[in-house]
């Protein structure tokens, strides 16, 4: 930003930067003068204050600033590649830096820099920038460091062409595009929100945190649920679920084996034999399972079984932190431990474990697997602190075969 801006704005920028950098899980900003990032943080603050018009302006400014920054970076890298000294390096990024550095540094100084930096291009660029450099080399290194603030060095694979490609990808700002969609959604503009979320998802290669793609898809799920566009709703949930390798084509036989186990041997054996790691897909698997159950489709069973397994596995791992000797024995014993631990009880409530256990029982019953369903319902009936799902399990256990299930 220009130094002639008011001091109040400079103070605000410093405050936002310090607060954001201290937040858990915050990605590192390239610098406190990253205008696109400052506009983005300002847009989020204004959104939380429900000042949607001003928030939209800030997100649009963030998008424009990011585009201009990386367009300039791309042009500077391209210009460096056009230099006569760059030709021998071909597509090798490390050789390119060496070739350009030789114009400005004596061999002894360059050797010292390369020895200190080792294989790290970032370290080498930072050390070189401490020297007196020609302008075109300095701005090339600035552009390289700008990209490395957003991308791991390994992704460039030591290729100049990959650096150019990264500049082009990073002209897009999917995080800001996503928040524009949140504004439209908050204002009830479902069609605009849908288009904006889809736009952000299409730009997901530029996300600083790749897992944020699941958040974008979850927002699309919210839109399609509100629009009652059930085909798109199902498709979006499926795209999230397939993030779990369990639901890839390669693991079809594993899914079938898991389904056979819970049907034939019940929940306890199922949890003894299989442990599935939870992830950003877990809640969507559960929602997709409920949707299939309410639509009368048998694939509800595996999605509900997987999501419950993931949530219970997470609870087991948390118990093992405090009691490394713990070994799962039965569902009833595990639920008792969960309810006796304040932190785990809160997790079970927030993750809706008991709701999904109930629906898993209903999915088993709908498929004609009454014994396994009764096993789950019996445990829930005897468990305390899981209202209203224990009462609903009691009603389900008394229901005659073939009677329609009340799906809440």
Distance CA 32, CA 40 (A): 13
372 and 262 within one domain: yes
Assess contact for 48 and 67: CB atoms under 8 A: no
pLDDT computed for residue 335 by the predictor? 96
369 and 261 within one domain: yes
141 and 64 within one domain: yes
Indicate the residue among 132, 150, 169 that finishes a domain.
Answer: 169
- The answer to whether residue 406 is domain-embedded is no
154 and 95 within one domain: yes
The reported pTM is: 0.82
Assess contact for 174 and 200: CB atoms under 8 A: yes
165 and 61 within one domain: yes
Distance CA 207, CA 128 (A): 29
- The answer to whether residue 252 is domain-embedded is yes
- The answer to whether residue 291 is domain-embedded is yes
Number of domains in the chain: 3
157 and 182 within one domain: no
pLDDT computed for residue 26 by the predictor? 37
pLDDT computed for residue 33 by the predictor? 66
> pLDDT, tens digit, for every residue of 254-307?
999 999 999 999 999 999 999 999 999 999 999 999 999 999 999 999 999 999
pLDDT computed for residue 21 by the predictor? 34
Indicate the residue among 153, 169, 185 that finishes a domain.
Answer: 169
Indicate the residue among 169, 191, 219 that finishes a domain.
Answer: 169
Please report how many Cα atoms fall inside a 13 Å half-sphere around the Cα of residue 196, on the Cβ side. Answer: 24
- The answer to whether residue 295 is domain-embedded is yes
126 and 270 within one domain: no
394 and 252 within one domain: yes
DSSP string, 271-309: HHH------TTHHHHHHHHHHHHHTT-TTHHHHHHHHHH
330 and 263 within one domain: yes
- The answer to whether residue 83 is domain-embedded is yes
- The answer to whether residue 383 is domain-embedded is yes
141 and 194 within one domain: no
pLDDT computed for residue 34 by the predictor? 85
155 and 287 within one domain: no
215 and 321 within one domain: no
pLDDT computed for residue 275 by the predictor? 95
Which pair of structure tokens corresponds to residue 339? 């309810």
- The answer to whether residue 53 is domain-embedded is yes
> pLDDT, tens digit, for every residue of 7-54?
333 334 333 333 333 333 333 333 446 899 999 999 999 999 999 999
- The answer to whether residue 85 is domain-embedded is yes
Q: What domain range includes position 220?
A: 174-228
- Enumerate residue ranges in the chain where pLDDT < 70: 1-33
pLDDT computed for residue 74 by the predictor? 96
């Amino acid at each position: 930003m220009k130094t002639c801006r008011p001091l109040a704005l400079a103070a605000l920028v410093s405050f936002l930067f310090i607060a954001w950098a201290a937040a858990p899980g915050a990605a590192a900003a390239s610098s406190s003068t990253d205008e696109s990032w400052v506009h983005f943080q300002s847009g989020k603050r204004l959104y939380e204050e429900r000042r949607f018009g001003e928030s939209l302006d800030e997100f649009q400014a963030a998008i424009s600033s990011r585009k201009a920054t990386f367009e300039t970076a791309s042009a500077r890298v391209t210009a460096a590649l056009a230099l006569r000294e760059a030709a021998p390096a071909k597509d090798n990024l490390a050789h390119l830096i060496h070739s350009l550095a030789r114009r400005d540094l004596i061999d002894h100084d360059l050797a010292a820099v390369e020895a200190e930096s080792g294989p790290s291009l970032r370290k080498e660029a930072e050390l070189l920038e401490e020297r007196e450099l020609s302008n075109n080399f300095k701005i090339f290194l600035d552009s390289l460091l700008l990209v490395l603030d957003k991308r791991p060095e390994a992704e460039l694979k030591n290729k100049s062409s990959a650096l150019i490609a990264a500049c082009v990808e990073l002209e897009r700002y999917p995080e800001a595009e996503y928040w524009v969609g949140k504004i439209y959604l908050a204002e009830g503009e479902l069609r605009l929100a849908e288009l904006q979320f889809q736009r952000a998802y299409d730009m997901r290669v530029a996300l600083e945190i790749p897992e944020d793609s699941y958040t974008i898809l979850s927002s699309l799920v919210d839109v399609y649920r509100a629009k009652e566009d059930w085909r798109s709703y199902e498709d979006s949930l499926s795209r999230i679920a397939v993030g779990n390798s369990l639901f890839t084509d390669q693991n079809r036989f594993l899914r079938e084996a898991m389904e056979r186990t819970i049907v034939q041997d019940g929940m306890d054996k199922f949890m003894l034999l299989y442990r599935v790691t939870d992830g950003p897909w877990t809640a969507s698997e559960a929602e997709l399972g409920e949707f299939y159950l309410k639509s009368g489709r048998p694939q509800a069973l595996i999605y509900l079984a997987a999501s419950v397994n993931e949530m219970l596995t997470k609870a087991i791992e948390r118990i093992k932190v405090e009691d490394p000797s713990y070994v799962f024995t039965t569902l009833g014993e595990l639920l008792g431990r969960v309810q006796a631990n304040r932190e785990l009880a809160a997790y079970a409530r927030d993750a809706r474990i008991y709701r999904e256990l109930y629906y898993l029982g209903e999915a088993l019953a709908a498929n004609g697997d009454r014994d396994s369903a009764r096993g789950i319902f019996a445990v829930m009936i005897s468990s305390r602190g899981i209202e209203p799902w224990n009462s609903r399990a009691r009603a389900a256990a008394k229901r005659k075969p073939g009677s329609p299930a009340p799906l809440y």
